[in-house]
Amino acid sequence: MTTNLIWILYRSDSDTAYKETLNCKKIIEGYGKKVLFSEISNETNNINQLFLKSEVLPEITIVLGGDGTVLRAARYLSPKNIPILSFNVGGNLGFLTHDRQILKQETFWERVSNNRFNIQKRMMLEATVFREKNNNETTIKKSFFALNDFYLRSCTDEIAPTCSLALEIDGEAVDRYKGDGLIFSTPTGSTAYSMAAGGPIIHPSLDAIIVSAICPMSLASRPIVVPPESQLVIKPIRGMKQKIKLWLDGSSGCLIEAEDTCLIKKSNHSTSIIILDENHSYYKTITQKLHWASSLNDPNK
């Protein structure tokens, strides 16, 4: 791969990530490449400044942080089809990232330059919130992208009420949920919040949408996996005293009010994830990170 411009995005609240950014920049510039870098967080979006500073788009963006940093970066980079090479610097689980030790090897960029890597295309979701007016017309209130998941939950300050939502799939009424909320996940996100809510693990090479209820008040509410072309419409059940909020990849989206409708579907964009390990195994990753298939007596086996 011929790479003339490289971006580095680093976790803003990590001094270690900043130091690794400078080290990484030095290594890559040693190969004659131009490097621009910026911090990234929920509160600040400096990626647009990189777009303004760059005459051309980068062929690769290196992300230094945890999974949350990768998810935030993906929302801005994926519409431009910019591949992400990520390393776990200052993060926790690091399910979407490479081990930090690889970054310390000066040969890591030589592998990239010689095309010794794989690119995985990861499905994303798009959520559009519509506002219904008095004349039965609808306008778009907000639109969002997510790599892991969208979820809707109650957000009342003083009390913790249940969340009442109606779900339609492809125009057909499917269920009326009452509980803490609903999760809509990609296969990439199936090992995150959806899994914690009892949803299935879906291999990320597949395209599908997983719907999982959060603490439902009915034994009949079970996770469901639907085809990627499905159109999922969520509406607050009117007459219920509730404030509902849409979240994307753990970040705040917007309020869903009584007159709003939320449409969730597969996005036209996908996230390109660079994998340096030529013998990468998804099953090995979930075994190491989540202790999948471990012995009940000894999690190390």
Judged by DSSP in three states, 129 sits in strand
C-alpha of 275 from chain center: 17
Tokens in use for 77?
Answer: 């980079």
Residue 301 · residue 294 · CB < 8 Å: yes
Structure tokens at 184: 């809509």
104 touches 87 (CB < 8 A): no
What 3-state DSSP class applies to 111? helix
Q: Which two tokens stand for residue 259?
A: 């007159």
Q: Is residue 272 within 8 Å of residue 81, measured between CB atoms?
A: yes
Q: What is the DSSP letter of 75?
A: H
Would you name the residues annotated as active-site residues?
67
Residues 6+ apart with CB under 8 A from 173: 166, 167
Amino acid present at 130: F
Contacts of 52 (CB under 8 A, 6+ apart): none
| Eight-class DSSP state of 253 | E
Q: 11 with 69: CB under 8 angstroms?
A: yes
Q: Which 3 state secondary structure label does DSSP give 185?
A: strand
Structure tokens at 102: 């690889």
* Strand spans (E) along 41-171: 60-65, 84-88, 118-132, 138-146, 149-154, 163-169
